[in-house]
């Protein structure tokens, strides 16, 4: 059975992967996440997800390596993580009463066969009307500076939304588990198989 590596330092992605009950190791890859001029959100998350997994591939023979990346898309603009609390408050103020798309890339490298698969999931969030005071309280309480879109859906961020639309809510947290399970089964590692 192939062994599993998560190419991420995100505790949220580790918590999601823990749900599958598969043994894995994790390591945080150091890559440049700067978007290229004219790069679409889908192309960006594909490139970064694969780059994260590739960064570790040379060190892990006979492994399946997972990479993932996420961006928010609003008014035709690709947004990453906020730089500070002021940027987080500004992002949430822009999102008030509006729809925001989240694109989460997923890569799986099989170092046994030198192959890889890359895909992405889109998830839509409709924010309710948000006041300045509640935005400030939210940012102060959760400090979502490490999250594209300036919120944590798995935490208090759920209070910011009117509704969620998409196939896999885990994609919004940062790791599309439904698609990951499919890729793992195709690579010979069934989460419901014998351990």
User: In sequence order, which ranges of the chain are alpha helices (DSSP H)?
Assistant: 11-18, 41-57, 85-95, 132-142, 169-173, 177-186
Q: Is the dihedral of CA 142, 101, 27, 85 positive or negative?
A: negative
Separation of alpha carbons 151 and 179, rounded Å: 23
Among residues 18, 59, 61, 69, the one annotated as catalytic is 69
Cβ atoms of residues 132 and 72 within 8 Å: no
Separation of alpha carbons 195 and 188, rounded Å: 12
Structure tokens of 46?
A: 């594909």
Q: Bin 59: left if φ > 0, else alpha if -120 < ψ < 50, else beta.
A: alpha
Separation of alpha carbons 164 and 141, rounded Å: 22
Structure tokens of 39?
A: 């790069």
CA neighbours closer than 13 Å in the CB half-sphere of residue 187 = 28
- Is 69 labeled as catalytic in the residue annotation? yes
Instruction: Give SS3 for 13.
Output: helix
Catalytic residue list? 69
């Amino acid at each position: 059975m192939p062994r599993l590596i998560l190419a991420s330092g995100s505790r949220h992605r580790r918590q999601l992967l823990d749900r599958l009950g598969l043994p894995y190791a994790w390591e945080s890859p150091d890559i440049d996440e700067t978007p290229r001029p004219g790069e679409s959100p889908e192309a960006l998350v594909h490139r970064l997800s694969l780059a994260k997994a590739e960064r570790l591939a040379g060190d892990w023979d006979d492994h399946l390596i997972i990479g993932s990346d996420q961006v928010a898309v609003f008014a035709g603009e690709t947004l990453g993580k906020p730089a500070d609390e002021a940027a987080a408050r500004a992002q949430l103020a822009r999102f008030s009463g509006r729809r925001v798309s989240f694109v989460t890339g997923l890569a799986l490298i099989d170092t046994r066969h030198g192959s890889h698969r890359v895909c992405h999931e889109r998830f839509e969030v409709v924010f309710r009307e948000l006041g300045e005071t509640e935005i400030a309280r939210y940012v102060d309480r959760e400090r979502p500076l490490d999250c594209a879109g300036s919120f944590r859906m798995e935490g208090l961020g759920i209070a910011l939304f009117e509704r969620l639309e998409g196939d896999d809510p885990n994609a919004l947290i940062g790791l599309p588990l439904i698609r990951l399970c499919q890729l793992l089964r195709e690579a010979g590692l069934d989460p419901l198989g014998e351990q």
